[in-house]
Structure 1
Amino acid sequence: MNRLKLNGQNYLERGAGILLPVTSLPSPYGIGSFGKEAYAFVDFLEAAGQTYWQVLPLGPTSYGDSPYQSFSAFSGNPYLIDLDLLIQQGLLTQAEVDAFDWGDDPASVDYAKLYENRFQVLHSAFLRSPCQTAPEFAVFCAENRFWLEDYSLYMAVKNYFGGKEWLAWPEDIRLRTEEAVKSYSALLKEEIAFWKFCQYEFFRQWFSLKTYANQKGIRIVGDIPIYVALDSADVWVHGDQFQLDERRRPVRVAGVPPDLFSAAGQLWGNPLYDWDYMEKDQFTWWKNRMAASAKLYDVIRIDHFIGVVNYYSIPAGDDTARNGEWMQGPGEKLLDAIENVLGDARVIAEDLGVVTPAVRGLQQKSGYPGMKLLEYAFDSDGKNGNLPCHYEKNTVVYGGTHDNETLKGFFERQNQSVLWFAHSYLNTRTNHEIPQAVIRAGYASSADLAVFQMQDFLGLDNRARMNTPSTIGGSNWRWRLTKGELTPELAQSMRLLAELYGR
């Protein structure tokens, strides 16, 4: 199973990367997309000496707008379809697109306005599209039939019932009786075709952008959550793969136990996998998922990797995570199953949290590089494993992830003990110097890959924070770049740093 060496090379080539969600790119239409600003960002990465672009999950989002709670583990977010490219195809006019209100703050995504307006525009494009008679569209539908048919029906039925979760649908279609599936498929035929059109355009635009990035020497790092949302086509269609009762309702749900940061723990609410059933099924669903991800990305970061070894199981219906218990996951059996579908794609194990010897042993045996966070490095002493002096080569170092504060925001609120240790370790004098010194320390480390949020190179405070865990709404998932922030001078300074440390 060990993939640490491929063709005699390290698992990941030494390099540097930027964490920036596609949604955070500039655009005149309320949210980042796969259009010209995405290509301009790739050009910026190349000029800045970067070799990796890490994005957040690309799936369609639901209530709360989190990319980690998606309607499907296989489909793409229609919000990311670039409208200017549809205009160039003759499917929309500029006047039509400009007639909608996309929000008045270019530095923030207004998801309410997107929800109200984006699908109206995409419907107009769909009605003019000749895709349904195009050979390329037929090939796309055939190649993705294993998920596309079910997802498109799911979305059509969801809209038919006013956006309600599938657990609130009439029983016949909720339980997917053969007669109900046939009936709704006929009734919603055009709406089903619309959702297929959205996926066709999404993947066509994404693969064009990915090809451009790869040609520029930029590898795409994609992030996949270990669990899927309860309100998803995956759970509706593949209920046998999850811990559900005979009425298809969750028996146990996911989360993490109470700790120093949360007295009640974290109740995520995702349905848990029925690992015994999955093993008997030869992990088919997971193999399909990883094969699809390996096409989307060059490197796949598995979020909450520790859940492969042991997972926290909470009784469905509980208000907190206090009554959960640790259960054994599939471990090496799952990794062996997905090994043959990854092709040339690499995997990063997000091994943050309660890392037991079993978790560490599986991560090392697989060869998947683990993660270190520099924001966690300065709160104790010189034995802290997040300090760069302790890294092994097969490691990915981050300043912080999408769930963390920006470096500036983080160090603005640390106590004197943390600041003293940071100054001593980083050889800095003023607090203002620390964030850039942290970046330099990550670049100078032996970690094969150093990834920092774009906000940190821009020196932004917590007003640019991407997400605060265990909260919904507010400023979560909203931050965006504005035009002109990525300057040639910034690219040059980043390139010099990357070259200095052999990245």
Structure 2
Amino acid sequence: MKATFKIHYDTQFGQQLLIVGSLPSLGKNKKEEALEMSHLGGGVWFAEIDLSKTKAKSFTYNYMLIDKSNGIEYKEDGAPRKVVLDKTLYKNYILQDAWNPYHETENAYDTAAFDVIFQTSAPKKKAAKKSAKDAKYTFEVNVPRINKDMVAKVVGSVEELGNWDINNALPMNYDKERNLWTVTTPLKKNHHKLKYKYVLVSTKDASHVELEGGFDHIFDIQENDPQTYVRFADHRFAYDKRAWRGMGVALPVFSLRSEQGLGVGEFLDIKGLVDWSKETGMRLVQILPVNDTMATYTWVDSYPYASVSVYALHPIYINLEAVGALKDKKKMTKLKTLKKKLNALDTVDYEAVMNAKMDYLKEIWSEKKASFLKDAKVKAFIKEQEEWLLPYAAFCYFRDKYKTPDFTKFEKFAKYDAKEVEKLFGAKSKVKDDVNFYVFVQYHLHAQLLEASEYAQDKGVVLKGDIPIGIYRFSADAWTAPHLYNMNGQAGAPPDDFAVNGQNWGFPTYDWDTMKKDGYAWWTSRMTHLSQYFQTFRIDHILGFFRIWEIPIDSVQGLLGQFRPALPLHLNEFESRGVRFDFDRFCKPYIREHFLGELFGADTDWVKGEFLKEKYTGAYDFKEEFDSQVKIQAYFNGLKAKDDADQARLDSIRDNLYSLHNEVLLIPALGYDDGMHYAPRVTMDKSRTFNELESYQKHTFWDLYVDYFFKRQEELWASQAMEKLPAIKEATNMLICGEDLGMVPDCVPGVMTELEILSLEIQRMPKDPTIAFGHPGNYPYESVASPSSHDMSTVRGWWEEDRGDTQRFYNEILGNWGEAPQHCEPWIAEQILVQHLYADSMWTIFPLQDLLAIDGELRRENPEDERINVPAIKHHYWRYRMHFSCEELVKQKNFNSKLKGLVTASGRNTEY
């Protein structure tokens, strides 16, 4: 009894193909003991193993390739192949395989997102099964793009496969567990060469067929022994058509408007956007993070990226009626009146909405708490989620009790103690109702988001989530596991066109070394939790997985940050280039008399007297009480302005004092306390301290600056990402998209391509620094094409920002002649939409505002009212709302018909 393996793979000199599997002869799944194959020529590899002594009823295996010249290994994608052994029927097994490439575009079709798109299901009429005695030839193939109304068949050169007549092709069955179409059949006669192809046939219209492209599959049959089993495990159906492309819409949940709303979008309102998406040929709805951000109970909590839990959902998105009606009819009438008032507002009144919802939830909790914990579904929910749910509920209770999310103020609970927290939920606990209130809220939020997600899936619309790069400093996550974070630093982003001083998000950075010890279990858990609701997600600031911009805890702005990890500059690098290292000149704020007047005008003398001390004529240092941006911030927070003009004056002085702190060339490198290692200050070429160096010093500093930021780190940063991102990718089957905008290292595209993570292509932020605008015609397939994002002005808003940029875009990118219109007219917005629709990108996703821009009557009058966020403003109020309801949007037949026509004409509304 033996098994023969055959596979075609064109190798290069020095490369060896191996088989690693569960049997001892295949190495017992140890790659070091894998079975080497023999090359028969023409790219055909062969191996044979003896099965006569095996007691196993089945075995699994995969192929791998090793380059003996450099030791690099190449693995296959997907689950191991499985062979079921039956000694009573077969003595020989011939396994004809095809290599499953790991880095292949169509791997994306095996993700959860495309389960929704194609909704592949087993055919209602299964292929006829042959008796075990006759069943000896098995055909298997992965068909990633096939809809629910199609079946796969095999057609070929022999009678059993229809003699190339598609009408007589052999039907296949769908094995959902292995995501394969398969059929087993006898071949009655000896056939020297078997030729075949796979074909897709519509169950509704037999004339609708798609035959595989490319060459025929060919197999040489040496014998037709009844005791020989032959399996043809082909890789994928070879499509003879363009890759699938889809269209989606992006809108935060809080921006949704429904006729039954309470002044903000809710999870159940997602259904309305799904209905509209289906109506217009779009297959995806993208939202912003929906985690709980309640820290201060003020509008500052409207920022969706500062979650107090990476698991808990935000109560603002709950639909109160779905939780239940109050017994008090007067209170229900009062709620109805309040709903009408809040829903009439143009924007979200965060505090009013939150107060209304929390008050109602506490009322309904008092009525339902007696029976809530007895419900079987509730018990199952708590059991499944208790690892994060109970600590979160306790955190919320303490946050409310001490009126701060700062857990260091939680008295004896300042340091998390799981056993003590568990006692809060016990039957004898005096606060059990208070903590269980938050369990109650989360249960209903979970149920409502799950309902919206399942509704979308049933409609064939993918729901796309968003993963913030950081956690809020005073969150349940930081409270329960502070060892996972660097609490003495804060994450942000270096400067870009939208935030010239960089961004300081205030989040602690991750302690990746600690997270690595358990295989990034925190991330795996987070992804698994997310996959309950979403089939694809956007990784916010994916660059943070390569390196993070870490800012000192005493900084307000982002310019004094540095990348972690990074290979620092050594002071010898300056000395060897003829620059004597001067710590005071290079590392301390460069403050000189001759430019203070330019910064502070009439307030110069006051500034010098209040904040500075002269160290020698014309040169200053900060006084100790103002030697950080945080100290300056605290000082100005304590001042009261006389009026708006005075407030503007104080803000200007404060910001210019911040800028003086930024006047440094070098920053002591993180992780080094020897005074020998430094990081260059980002955008130092725009600083006074740089521009007032001697010419030879400038050249040295700039050469080292370029080397530090754009050369020496590439290998380190790539290796960092290749350690972390695979754990996130492998945790679930969700399709991953990365927000890779900003200061992008050269290594990023290669890593994302290797891991099959889609890039984000924004026309106004091209990856190529030598061009002003990206052209959708040049985008890669493994990408998401968008004209703007929530962190930018809309297309209409941008059009009016810089006349020069607009004119250039109008002529060079849109290809129009003459002078650009002052405003982004509907026909211009349509040109931009169409250009993106015809991109090669897998997905084109438009913010709703940019879609409405093509209709002069539907869009808002003022484009500034459509903006969601301004990154340069640290505490921006996130409150944008649609100006009409989803119900009204669905009724806009002319607009919807036009939009669907554009989407369909571009090929982005195909069934498969």
What TM-score, normalized to structure 2? 0.51
Partner of 1:316: 553
Partner of 1:29: 262
Partner of 1:342: 732
Measured in 2, the distance between the counterparts of 1:278 and 1:445 equals 39
Equivalent of 2:345 in 103, 106, 114: 106
Amino acid at match of 2:475: S
> Over residues 208-236 of structure 1, what are the superposed CA-to-partner deviations in whole Å (9 max), with x where a residue is unaligned?
11111111110001111111111211111
Partner of 2:848: 454
CA contact (8 A) 1:107 1:482 kept: no
Q: Secondary structure at the match of 1:253?
A: strand
Mapping 1:78-93, distance limit 5 Å: 78-87=315-324
CA contact (8 A) 1:45 1:491 kept: no
Q: Secondary structure at the match of 1:296?
A: coil
Q: Which moved more, 1:62-71 or 1:301-310?
A: 62-71
- TM-superposed deviation, 1:358: 2.1
Measured in 2, the distance between the counterparts of 1:70 and 1:3 equals 35
CA contact (8 A) 2:496 2:743 kept: no
- TM-superposed deviation, 1:104: 6.5
Measured in 1, the distance between the counterparts of 2:307 and 2:744 equals 27
CA contact (8 A) 1:423 1:434 kept: no
- TM-superposed deviation, 1:375: 3.1
Q: Secondary structure at the match of 1:144?
A: helix
Mapping 1:196-207, distance limit 5 Å: 196-207=439-450
Amino acid at match of 2:547: N
1:20 to 2:251 alignment: yes
- TM-superposed deviation, 1:115: 2.7
Give the total of aligned pairs: 492
Partner of 1:471: 873
Measured in 2, the distance between the counterparts of 1:88 and 1:219 equals 32
Q: Secondary structure at the match of 1:372?
A: strand
CA change 1:105–1:375 in 2 (3 A) is farther
1:415 to 2:648 alignment: no
CA contact (8 A) 1:64 1:473 kept: no
Q: Bigger relative contact order, structure 1 or 2, given CA contacts below 8 A and separation 6+?
A: 1
Partner of 1:72: 309
Q: Which moved more, 1:89-98 or 1:265-274?
A: 89-98
Measured in 1, the distance between the counterparts of 2:876 and 2:731 equals 39
Amino acid at match of 2:757: Y
Measured in 2, the distance between the counterparts of 1:119 and 1:13 equals 45
Partner of 1:434: 828
CA contact (8 A) 1:255 1:267 kept: yes
CA change 1:485–1:293 in 2 (3 A) is same
1:156 to 2:394 alignment: no
CA change 1:262–1:24 in 2 (3 A) is closer
CA change 1:231–1:113 in 2 (3 A) is same
Partner of 2:410: 170
Q: Secondary structure at the match of 1:321?
A: coil
Partner of 1:247: none
Measured in 1, the distance between the counterparts of 2:372 and 2:419 equals 29
> Over residues 49-98 of structure 1, what are the superposed CA-to-partner deviations in whole Å (9 max), with x where a residue is unaligned?
10000011111123341111111111111111112323479899742522
CA change 1:40–1:336 in 2 (3 A) is closer
Measured in 2, the distance between the counterparts of 1:337 and 1:50 equals 31
Measured in 2, the distance between the counterparts of 1:393 and 1:266 equals 31
Measured in 1, the distance between the counterparts of 2:273 and 2:499 equals 37
Measured in 2, the distance between the counterparts of 1:336 and 1:377 equals 26
CA contact (8 A) 1:241 1:274 kept: yes
Q: Secondary structure at the match of 2:737?
A: strand
CA contact (8 A) 2:372 2:378 kept: yes
> Over residues 288-308 of structure 1, what are the superposed CA-to-partner deviations in whole Å (9 max), with x where a residue is unaligned?
011111222110110000111
CA contact (8 A) 2:764 2:773 kept: no
CA change 1:9–1:311 in 2 (3 A) is farther
CA contact (8 A) 1:19 1:452 kept: yes
CA contact (8 A) 1:24 1:481 kept: no
RMSD: 2.6
Amino acid at match of 2:906: Y
- TM-superposed deviation, 1:137: 0.5
Q: Secondary structure at the match of 1:46?
A: helix
Measured in 2, the distance between the counterparts of 1:472 and 1:262 equals 10
1:139 to 2:375 alignment: no
Q: Percent identity?
A: 24
Gaps of 5+ in 2: 1-101, 111-141, 146-242, 295-299, 566-716, 854-859
Q: Which moved more, 1:367-376 or 1:91-100?
A: 91-100
CA contact (8 A) 1:305 1:351 kept: yes
CA change 1:302–1:233 in 2 (3 A) is same
Partner of 2:283: 51
CA contact (8 A) 1:411 1:434 kept: no
1:97 to 2:330 alignment: no
Equivalent of 2:791 in 383, 400, 403: 403
Measured in 1, the distance between the counterparts of 2:384 and 2:334 equals 33
Amino acid at match of 1:54: Q
CA contact (8 A) 1:374 1:438 kept: no
Equivalent of 1:193 in 436, 457, 469: 436
- TM-superposed deviation, 1:14: 1.4
Partner of 1:332: 722
- TM-superposed deviation, 1:485: 4.5
CA change 1:422–1:188 in 2 (3 A) is farther
Partner of 1:231: 474
Q: Which moved more, 1:485-494 or 1:471-480?
A: 471-480
Partner of 1:246: none
Amino acid at match of 2:744: V
CA change 1:127–1:342 in 2 (3 A) is same
Q: Secondary structure at the match of 2:549?
A: strand
**Structure with higher strand content:** 2
Equivalent of 1:289 in 526, 538, 548: 526
> Over residues 172-221 of structure 1, what are the superposed CA-to-partner deviations in whole Å (9 max), with x where a residue is unaligned?
21112467536655342111111011111011111111111111110001
Amino acid at match of 1:57: P
Amino acid at match of 1:492: S
Q: Secondary structure at the match of 1:376?
A: coil
CA contact (8 A) 1:375 1:407 kept: no
Gaps of 5+ in 1: 244-249
Partner of 1:425: 813
- TM-superposed deviation, 1:277: 0.3
Q: Which moved more, 1:412-421 or 1:16-25?
A: 412-421
Measured in 1, the distance between the counterparts of 2:514 and 2:144 equals 37
> Over residues 397-423 of structure 1, what are the superposed CA-to-partner deviations in whole Å (9 max), with x where a residue is unaligned?
111111111111111223234423333
1:366 to 2:755 alignment: yes
CA contact (8 A) 1:304 1:351 kept: yes
What TM-score, normalized to structure 1? 0.91
CA change 1:267–1:33 in 2 (3 A) is same
Structure number with greater Rg is 2
Measured in 1, the distance between the counterparts of 2:257 and 2:285 equals 16
Q: Secondary structure at the match of 1:269?
A: coil
Q: Secondary structure at the match of 1:16?
A: strand
Measured in 1, the distance between the counterparts of 2:729 and 2:768 equals 37
Measured in 2, the distance between the counterparts of 1:91 and 1:253 equals 48
CA contact (8 A) 2:424 2:435 kept: no
Measured in 1, the distance between the counterparts of 2:502 and 2:876 equals 21
Q: Secondary structure at the match of 2:507?
A: strand
CA contact (8 A) 2:503 2:871 kept: no
Amino acid at match of 2:436: A
